[in-house]
Amino acid sequence: MSLRLGDGGGSSGRAPRPQAADGLGLIAEVAAEYFGPLPISLDHPLDLLPEAGTRIDFRVFSDLARASSAWMRGAGARRGDIIAISKANRLDVLALACGAARMGAVPALLSPALEPSSLGLLLERLGGPVLFADSGVLHSAAAAGVDTGRLACRIVALDGQHPGAIPLSELRGAAIPQPALRQGRESVLVTHSSGTTGVAKLVLHAADGLIATAAAQMRMAKLLRIRGPVAACVSAFHARVVTGLMVLLGSGLPFASISDPNPAAARRILLEVKPEVLEAHPNILILWEWLASDVAQPLASVRVFNSTFDAAHPRTIKKLLAASRRRFPLYLQGLAQTEVGMVTLHPQTRGVRWHGARCVGWPWPGFNKVRIVDAHGDPLPAGHAGRIQVRSRGRCLTFVGQESQAAAREQDGWWDMGDRGFVTRWGCIHMLDRAEESIDGIASSLAVEDVLLERLPQLTEVIVIKLGEGPPATVYATADGKPLGAEDLARAAAGLPVLGESVHLAWNEFPRTGTWKVRRKDLRQKLVAVPA
């Protein structure tokens, strides 16, 4: 279907084929002109356009983006202003981002999973933005004593009424402004880091960095001969999702947006869409492992599994590949970071041999370079573990409100990722741990967690973490919600570094980021009497 939202116009002939250089502000409408009827499937209707249902097309998405630029203009935003966007995780988050970029504003995507206190701090760092938020975010902030009216210069309530806010209903129908794009090293987007080790950082992206990242990913899609459809269950507030959207629109790939990570909900849309490509956060893919044995085979159509947010567990990768009925399915294991974009890629297929550390692949030729350094910043030879540093065309400009911290992460043009790893003599990068989460006596807690998940198939989460003196604890969740016996845990830990107590939690009791990563610092504080 196609639903016209604005005063339209359009070109008299077919638009030029969309490309990454169209940028976030224009790629939606260029794609709509070129690929207009291509479908977009949704597991929930868009909050900002519920009447469109769960099956829209490129034109509807573009119209919503163009209309949102009018709403933002009507709210008083101008080129160069920051527009903070915080609402339920739906595809319309990205339509709002496109609309803001179209009018030359800088969208700042703030996940509703942020604690209200963190949201308040990030709004303060943004220096009084225009805030587009839904009632869930605004009510949670107010209940926690966070004064969004003081922290934002204007607030637009996306649904219903809120004290001091402009209802979106008052802005609908406004004339759509002409594009006023930002280019080159101008800032074009703010996203935030996952916040696994503390309050999330606001990452400021340049126009050319975002375009370079999207262009590299478009080349990869072309190399893999991806035709679609693509299904993704990802946080709409992550930088990867913004460039991923640019790839889908620029390549003309029909796609499905899955906002609910519940396996039963995902099963329905996977069976309906039959995707060629499936992307999700690693901790979501663990939940979806049971789909691999579903008699309806919801993963049978998948040729490429992709998760570039974190290294996934080997058990998960094996199960997903085994569930595909394609002849040569691939799992694209990668290392990436909001601040630098995609870093490495490691295509894997059935029958892969696993090693103790996580091999996350090789740097992208022509896009970035990777090196390992010691504590003094001196490069290390192959096989020696140290800090991972990156030179990347997709590198961010800075951290908003924490510019000195961003400067401290740079060394002669190299960006310190905060991760520990090593490089093999073949140039492959192996990931060990986050530097702040390293545990004395354990070369890689991630590798230990991989082994425990492999040996205990009933686990849906496991974290090895220091809770005090003595050996690290094992904190885990199980598929059936029942704790494991001490003998089972002891057998699984055979040959591993000495582990201490075990703690059983429900999966949803683990404190998580907007990308479903476990916030280890918060988990530690949850389980001990005093903060570590």
Q: Write down the pLDDT at residue 309.
A: 67
Q: Write down the pLDDT at residue 2.
A: 33
The DSSP code sequence of 142-182 is HHTT--HHHHSSEEEESSS--TT-EEGGGTTTPPPPPP---
- Do residues 326 and 303 touch, judged by C-beta distance below 8 A? yes
> Could you list the pLDDT tens digit for every one of the 532 residues in the chain?
233 333 333 333 566 889 999 999 999 999 999 999 999 999 999 999 999 999 999 999 999 999 999 999 999 999 999 999 999 999 999 999 999 999 999 999 999 999 999 999 999 999 999 999 999 999 999 999 999 999 999 999 999 899 999 999 999 999 999 999 999 999 999 999 876 666 889 999 999 999 999 999 999 999 999 998 999 999 999 999 999 999 999 999 999 999 998 998 899 999 999 999 999 988 889 889 989 999 999 999 999 999 866 677 888 899 999 999 999 999 998 888 999 998 998 888 887 665 445 788 899 888 999 999 999 999 999 999 999 999 999 999 999 999 999 999 999 999 999 999 999 998 999 989 888 888 888 988 888 998 999 899 999 999 999 988 889 999 999 989 999 999 999 999 999 999 999 999 998 899 887 777 888 888 998 898 544 4
* pTM for this model (two decimals): 0.91
If 0-12 CB within 10 Å is exposed, 13-18 middle and 19+ buried, where does residue 148 land? buried
- Rounded to whole angstroms, the maximal C-alpha distance in the chain is 72
Q: Write down the pLDDT at residue 354.
A: 53
Q: Write down the pLDDT at residue 233.
A: 94
Phi-psi region of 367 (alpha: psi -120 to 50; beta: other; left: phi over 0): alpha
Phi, psi of 449 (to 5 degrees): -65, -35
Tokens in use for 521? 């610092």
In the structure, how many helices (H) and strands (E) does the chain have?
A: 15, 25
Tokens in use for 75? 């709210």
Q: How many residues does the chain have?
A: 532
Strand boundaries in 223-313, DSSP class E: 230-233, 255-257, 277-280, 304-307
What are 334-360's pLDDT values in tens digits?
888 999 998 998 888 887 665 445 788
Strand boundaries in 366-509, DSSP class E: 368-373, 386-392, 398-399, 410-411, 414-423, 429-434, 459-465, 473-478, 502-504
Whole-number Å distance between alpha carbons of 423 and 382: 5
Q: Write down the pLDDT at residue 519.
A: 85
Alpha-carbon distances, residue 436 vs 55, 198, 200, 257, 468 (angstroms): 44, 11, 15, 34, 16
**DSSP summary character for residue 258:** -
Query: Structural domains in the chain?
Result: 56-205 (3.40.50.980), 260-437 (3.40.50.12780), 445-527 (3.30.300.30)
Tokens in use for 528? 């001990």
Phi, psi of 292 (to 5 degrees): -65, -25
